[in-house]
Structure 1
């Protein structure tokens, strides 16, 4: 039985969206390691991020779907 994920991730550079999706998909698309991915979602990275630094946000899929309905 396959479960549906509740969350996906969105990668930002400043206010621009770089990519989004499940963790493994982002790792493959961006050609990064799993440890780099976890660094991007860490609260320390978010707190210390400059305007052009990559950060990741964990987002509920339901929020993504709602924002898509908005457009």
Structure 2
């Protein structure tokens, strides 16, 4: 598992990007966020995830929020 920071996440569209510690960004879709109920991320959240290669590039899966910034 890697750790990164949410760069931005669009709740209406259900996707965004996570900044990895090496400076690269990884696509994230709401369906890859672990948890029950409404799944979302906030800019600045610290997250753990696994990075996979897909047909359109790298994406995050098994995403878990480690530390959530207050709204």
Shorter-normalised TM-score: what interval?
under 0.3
Given the two structures, how large is their TM-score scaled by the length of structure 1? 0.28
When the two structures are superposed, what TM-score results if normalisation uses the length of structure 2? Answer: 0.28
Richer in strand (by share): 2
Instruction: Find the structure with the greater CA-based Rg.
Output: 1
Higher relative contact order (CA 8 A, sep 6+): 1
Where is the helix percentage greater, Structure 1 or Structure 2? 1
